[in-house]
């Protein structure tokens, strides 16, 4: 096993360094290297290729037991433990099964009326902001992503990511938007009736900033369809087919999507096929 490790990594580190670190002699390594491969090693290579083919064909969703049955169907006889070992050696790990979708169990306080009334056009920046949050699965658990869009240009002017769906999550997204755009005047903020948005914490921020609150009617997702469209694009174009091994990895990818693709580059049919930043620049010119 140690000689195999050296053979695998000798392109990255000198052989003498690897031998010293693993406590084997260089002569022993080179003697091992010149020996003919064992039948088991050759068989492992054949089975390992079938294991990888099965795993890739399943879109990286198969665990060892399903891969094992694929290998058996090819006419090869081997045990489940061998499949598990070959999968570990190739770092083949199935996508983690998702838990049930998270539920908002917080109390809903004051609920505002639907002042936006599905009027998703704005004549200038900072007239109408829409907000919502979604969740992205990672191997460490859910990552919650809150976003604020300016309906004038569909630009994501504020966002926040946390491990839990608290009022602080949506408050941070709002304050990023205020920091970027400046303290607004005559601004309407629209969201759903989630406990995060109805909380005294968030409602107090809206009052401090002089922002008028609007909320979708209960169960009417189309009352905030602009936000639904944004999250649909985020998931379809970036996150849906990825397996994030950590929340940090997912955060980095969502940041990349928003700040390096969506805002500066992604073309919108509602904006004459300009990106949000290009649309705002064209209006100013």
Q: Name the DSSP letter for residue 223.
A: G
pLDDT of residue 273: 87
Residue 269 lies in a domain: yes
Of 12-21, 77-86, 176-185, the least confident: 12-21
Domain count along the chain = 3
Do 163 and 252 lie in one domain? The reply is yes
Predicted confidence (pLDDT) at residue 190 exceeds the cutoff of 60: yes
Is the pTM higher than 0.75? The answer reads: no
189/235 Cα distance (integer angstroms): 24
Residue 175 lies in a domain: yes
Task: Spell out the residues 6+ positions from residue 130 whose beta carbon is closer than 8 angstroms to its own.
Answer: 116, 120, 148, 149, 151, 189, 190, 191, 224, 226, 227
- In this structure, are 28 and 157 located in the same domain? no
Q: Are 279 and 142 found together in one domain?
A: yes
Does 42 have pLDDT greater than 90?
Answer: no
Strand-pair category, 128-138 with 188-191: parallel
Q: What is the reported pLDDT for 37?
A: 66
User: Does 48 lie in the same domain as 16?
Assistant: no
Asked whether residue 10 is assigned to any structural domain, the reply reads yes
pLDDT digits (tens, 9 = 90+) for 107-164: 667 789 999 999 999 999 999 999 999 999 998 889 999 999 999 999 999 999 999 9
Q: Summarize pLDDT for 194-226 with one digit per residue, the tens.
A: 999 999 999 999 999 999 999 999 888 899 999
Task: Establish if 157 belongs to a structural domain.
Answer: yes
The reply to whether 10 and 62 lie within a common domain is no
210 plus 69 within the same structural domain = no
Range of the domain at 10: 2-34
Angstrom CA distances, 48 to 10, 13, 35, 243, stand at 22, 26, 21, 22
96 domain-assigned: no
pLDDT for 96 = 61
Predicted confidence (pLDDT) at residue 98 exceeds the cutoff of 60: no
- Residues 141 and 275 grouped into a single domain: yes
Q: What is the rounded CA–CA span in Å between residue 71 and residue 226?
A: 47
């Amino acid at each position: 096993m140690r000689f195999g490790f050296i053979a695998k990594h000798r392109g990255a580190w000198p052989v003498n360094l690897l031998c010293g670190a693993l406590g084997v002699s260089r002569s022993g390594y080179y003697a091992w290297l010149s020996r003919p491969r064992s039948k088991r090693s050759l068989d492992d290579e054949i089975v390992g290729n079938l294991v990888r083919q099965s795993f890739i064909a399943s879109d990286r969703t198969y665990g060892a037991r399903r891969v094992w049955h694929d290998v058996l169907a090819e006419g090869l006889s081997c045990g489940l433990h061998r499949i598990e070992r070959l999968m570990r050696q190739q770092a083949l790990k199935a996508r983690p099964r998702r838990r049930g979708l998270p539920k908002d169990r917080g109390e809903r306080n004051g609920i505002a009326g639907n002042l936006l009334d599905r009027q998703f056009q704005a004549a200038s920046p900072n007239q109408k902001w829409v907000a919502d949050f979604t969740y992205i699965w990672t191997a460490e658990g859910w990552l919650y992503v809150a976003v604020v869009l300016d309906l004038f240009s569909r630009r994501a002017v504020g966002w926040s990511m946390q491990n839990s769906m608290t009022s602080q999550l949506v408050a941070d997204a709002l304050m990023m938007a205020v920091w970027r755009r400046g303290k607004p005047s005559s601004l309407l903020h629209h969201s759903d009736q989630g406990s995060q948005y109805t909380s005294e914490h968030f409602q107090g921020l809206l009052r401090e900033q002089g922002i008028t609150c609007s909320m979708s009617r209960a169960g009417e997702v189309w009352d905030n369809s602009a936000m639904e469209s944004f999250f649909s694009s985020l998931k379809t174009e970036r996150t849906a087919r990825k397996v994030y091994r950590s929340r940090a990895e997912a955060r980095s990818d969502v940041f990349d999507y928003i700040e390096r693709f969506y805002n500066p580059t992604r073309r919108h049919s509602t904006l004459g096929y300009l990106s949000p930043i290009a649309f705002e620049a064209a209006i100013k010119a």
